[in-house]
Structure formats: structure tokens, C-alpha cells
Amino acid sequence: MRILRDFKLPDFKFPKFKMEGLDNIEEMKVDLEKKQEEMKNKKPGKNYEPTTYQTIKEVFKKSTEEYKDLPFILEKFNHKDEQFTVMTYGRFKEDVIHLGTGLNRLLNLKDKRVVIIGENTYYWYVSYMAMLCGVGIAVPVDKELPENEIENVIHRSRAEAVIYSTKKKDAIKKIRENVPEVNYFIQMNDVTPLQDKDVGIEYVIKQGEQLVRSGDNSYMDIKIDPDEFKVLIFTSGTTSQAKGVMICNRDLAENINAVSAYVKLYPSDRLMSILPLHHTYESTIGFLLPMATGSSIGVCEGLKYIQPNMKELQPTALLTVPLLVETLYKKIDANIKKSKKDGLVKSMIHVTNALKAVGIDIKRKVFKEIYDNLGGKIRIIVSAAAPIDAKIGRWVQDIGINFLQGYGLTETSPIAALTPEFEPKVGSAGKPVICAEIKIDNPNENGEGEVLIKSKTLMLGYYENEEATKEAIQDGWFHSGDIGYLDEDGFLYITGRCKNVIVTQNGKNIYPEEIELLLGKIPEIKECMVYGKEGEGDELIISVKVIPDYEELEKNYGKDLTDEKIHDIIWNKIKEVNKGLTSYKAIKNLEIKKDEFEKTTTMKIKRYAELNKDKK
């Protein structure tokens, strides 16, 4: 994962809520005693029958045939377009087979490494699938990387071709002379015939189509070894110290099998793709999983288009990260309070929860206005990549949306734990998936220790780094670097990162993420980062950098607040949080931050980058 420069979520706008859905409750006439008895006799939820795929090519063949007339990818190729263009499973199948044939036979890229770089777009999906089904090794790259780091990825991966989106054309032009090992630069959404090293992807597809029509079935005849190295992903930067993760078909297929036991997706479902596809969270769970279930994927036009795109695409499932869920919650909650409907909403939540407990679910009717502003059909929100305030997860559940959490790393391709939709437990990172075991190494008195994972989705190893592989995987167990604990039901809770832990002079361990969740509940704090600031001698001062929520400050304290006043307001709020913490965890120092935090592509703060700024 890499820094997402200038990342900023849009200012979501919601209309004034009238919350007239209470009428739906008053209309309900039920025999509650009878319903309660029925619920007592209801059997507890159990795992669904999982799929048993070994390769992604199996998934591709089955889904593109079974669902060939159904929509698969929906995208606006121009912001001015009124409607999303729909690509069916049948169209996708043809484009993948023709591209794969063209790459192998026309460009001789069989078994070669190919960089794929660009925003989420149709030909990214086609290119990645063509690689997985029989070309060579895919090297998905963060589109936000500067030119010198793109060069570095090409050199380190020994890529012989680069498939790039039109928006990356200028960047590729600047580096092409510095990467002589690249034989082909293939531009998406382009029809240019092969000339020297340049060619349009649509030309390659057209040439592949002609070969297939003449009887060349060589591409689809390729047998995929489930354990063959097929994907190379650099996890954190592209310097010589960065690790490349080697992934095979079995890793990805087992992710689909594992998730299918906990969550049911249907051909009627639609996901909206927001997160970058070069990240395994999006490319595996946001692409390969819905393909396996016949679901469709709507490609978000960009962060500022999230809300209008949700209304247009009407997704049923949203794969996202805590920051987006938190932002939606805060905006909707603030709007409800502004409409003076917060008391009514609390009553509606209480009553609908009581009804749901006896098998009567009318939440979609009662909270229709909220649903309508999220597209009207949303039924699942999955949050992963970082912890989230349990209060927000409960709110999502309370308005009738299944709130699921996932946990994993690029090294586990990525899912290692997930909330079963039939056994929700808000606040946890989920249960180990069916192909994985999780244990806690050397737990402390609270049961917390490093999370170790043994799974069929585990990477082949680190690219050209046997020493790092042996250090990370010991006796079959992957050392995640995350700190967490398991509860009595086997649910995993993540409390921090080993490398982020603050160790006090007295040997006490403080996990900043734990305190950040508490501070995140303060309305006047938009974002924060807790860290140990060097004091006199070896002393570490527990400190926090805060980006204020200026909108909330203005609403509660008026305009034209001085920096000193803002500091005082937030510090007084922090002191209230301190009262609930043991003394050694209490925040001792506050710094108001005026610029944005640098973030990864999954919207987590890059702590080392922020701390390096202080050192400089």
C-alpha cells in the first residue's frame, strides 16, 4: 500500500429528513408472544455450503457461461454521460479470451511479467483476468505512485510489458526511455495498431479475436497450476526495502470459497467499486468474488461522485473502509439532529429492534429516507483495513443494513477473518474464515498478543527475499504484526500494530489505535493520530495530532475561533477521555494539525511519514 496524495472525502449532502416511516410501525398488528415462541425454536445460523474452486479460471469459465446475458461491469467512460455503459458477462468473456490470445500470440507475453496501472476501469478488470487465466504474472501497481517509483516497480518485477490507462499516458511517456526492458506499452481504451513498442489494447483484442475465429483455442486450452506464481504485489512502497508478495491462483480461489461460507451474494446483487483495484481487498473481494456469484459491479467515477453514483447504481453491497462509513454516519446523524428528528429515530430504532428480535423486520420501510439517499437497495456494508468505532457499526445494524467486518493482509490474499452475516458481532474483525486458523502469540494478562495466521490463502512468499519469508512464516504460521485477542466465541479483535506500539519507561505497552477510537468519538475531532513524542532523556510523552472538524466547531462555538480557542476546546474534550483511561495511557500533549494526514490507498494514516516530518 502506498500514500494516496491529497486524499479527501467529499462533503456528502443529504436532504432534510422527515422520518415519516413511523407509520409503518403503527400499522403492525402482531401476536408478539407467538412470534417469540417461534424465534425460540429457530435454529442458530450455520455456515453456507462453500464453493470449492481451485483456480480463478474455473470461476471465469463457469460464471461467464452461466451468467453470460447478465450485466457484469457498469461504467461511465465520460462524466458527461447520462447513463452507465453496461458490459455483460458474455462481453467480458470474449474480451478476456481475445486479449489473452493477443497477448500470448501477437506480443509473445506468455509467462512474462506485466504491470497493470490505472484507475478502476473496465480494461483493468479484463487485463487482470487475462493474466490470471493464462498469460503470465500480473503486477498491479498503485496509480498514485510518482514516475520514479513506477520505474522501480518495473525494474524490480522485471516486467516486459505495461498496460496503462489513458490518464497515465503522460507518466508512461516520461519513464519509457528509462525502462528499456519493457517491450510493449499497451494503452487501455485505444485502437492504435502495433508500432514499435506502442499498441492499443483494443487492437490487441481485435487481433486476438481474429485468431480465435480462425480456430486458435490455445489460450483457453492452457491448464492453470493452482500453486503457480501469478500475481506480484508490492505492499509498502517500491524501495529496495519494500516487500513484494507472491500470490497464486489457489490463494485467490480459496478466498472466494472461504467468503462463500459466511456471506451469500446473488446475481441480483450489485457492488460499487470505490477502493483501488491494485489492492487485494478490492481486486479479490470486490471483483473476483462478485464474478463468482453472478453479481454486477458499478465503477464509481471518483471520490467526489460517491453519493450521486450510489443513487444511480443502487448498489446492494458496499466494500469500504472505516473512514467512509464514519463520514456517512456523521453526516446522516448531523442531518437527523438538524431536522430535530433524533429523538424519534432513537425510538424507531428501539421499536424496530424489538420487532426484529421476534422475526419481524420492517427497518427498510421505517428508515426508507436513509436508504433512498444511499441508492435505496443497500443491504450489506463491509468495513475492513482498520478498526472502527463499534457505535457506528451498531448504528448501521440498527437501521437494517448488515454490517460486516473483515480482517486480512496482502499476504493472506487478503481475507483471514470475516463476520458471518448470520452471526453478527459488531466491534470484532470477524471469525477466522473456514480455510484459516488464527492464534494469539504470547498473550498478555488481557489475552492480547501478536495475531498468527495459518491459511490456504497464505502467500507463496516474499519476492526474491527468502530471509524475510522465513522470518514472517514460521512452522506454517504467518506473523501478521497485528496485535489482537480472540473472545470466547472465537471472534478476533484487533487492538493495534506491533510496530506502532508505544513502550513507556515502565515497560507498559500502549496501542495508539485503541486511544484513537475513543478520541474519534469527539465530534470536534475529524481525524487524529496518537504517538509517543520524545521528551527529556528516554521519556515518551503520549501525544496526539488532531485535525479539527471546523464545521462542528462553528456550529457549537461560533465563527472566527482563534487557534488558541480551538486548541482549548479540543483539549478539554480530550481531558474527559483521559478520565476513562489508566494514567499511563492518558494524552499529555495536543498538536492541532492544519494540513491533511498522508494516507495509504485504504485510507489509513501513514504514521511513519507523519513522524518523519517531525524529525525533518
Q: What is the pLDDT of residue 393?
A: 94
Give alpha helix (H) positions in 318-389.
322-338, 342-357, 363-366, 368-372
Low-confidence ranges of the chain (pLDDT < 50): 1-7, 237-240
Cell of 2: 502506498
Contacts of 143 (CB under 8 A, 6+ apart): 117, 118, 119, 165, 167, 168, 276, 278
Q: Can you give the CATH number for the domain in which 520 is found?
A: 3.30.300.30
For residue 470, the model assigns a pLDDT of: 95
Which residue do the cell numbers 476546546 mark? 569
Predicted confidence at residue 453, as pLDDT, reads 98
- Check whether residue 27 and residue 129 sit in a common domain: no
- Same domain? For 541 and 573 the reply is yes
DSSP3 helix / strand / coil % (the chain, rounded to 5): 40, 20, 40
pLDDT at 272: 97
- Please enumerate in sequence order all residues whose Cβ is within 8 A of that of 536, keeping only pairs 6 or more positions apart, or say none: none
Domain final position from 224, 240, 266: 224
Residue 486 and residue 516 share a domain? no
Same domain, 121 and 17: no
79 and 28, same structural domain?
no
Q: How far apart are CA 290 and CA 255, in angstroms?
A: 12
* Residue 326 forms part of a structural domain: yes
> What's the pLDDT tens digit per position in 565-611?
999 999 999 999 999 888 889 999 999 999 999 887 777 888 878 88
> What's this model's pTM, rounded to 2 decimal places?
0.84
- Residue 546, CA distances (Å) to 421, 512, 592, 594 in order: 35, 13, 5, 8
Q: What is the CATH number of the domain that holds 416?
A: 3.40.50.12780
Distance in angstroms (rounded) separating the CA atoms of residues 100 and 220: 9
**Is the N-terminal amide bond of 414 cis, ω within 30° of 0?**
yes
Q: What is the pLDDT of residues 354-386, one digit of tens each?
A: 888 888 899 999 999 999 999 999 999 999 877
Split into its structural domains, the chain has a count of 3
Q: Are residues 93 and 26 in the same domain?
A: no
Identify whether 387 is preceded by a cis peptide bond (ω within 30 of 0): no
The answer to whether residue 265 is domain-embedded is no
My answer on whether 209 and 94 are in the same domain is yes
First and final CA of the chain: distance in angstroms? Answer: 23
Domain ranges, residue 383: 10-41+287-497
Q: Is the residue at 609 inside a domain?
A: yes
Which of 224, 255, 275 terminates a domain? The answer is 224
On whether both 76 and 17 belong to a single domain, the answer is no
Same domain, 342 and 470: yes
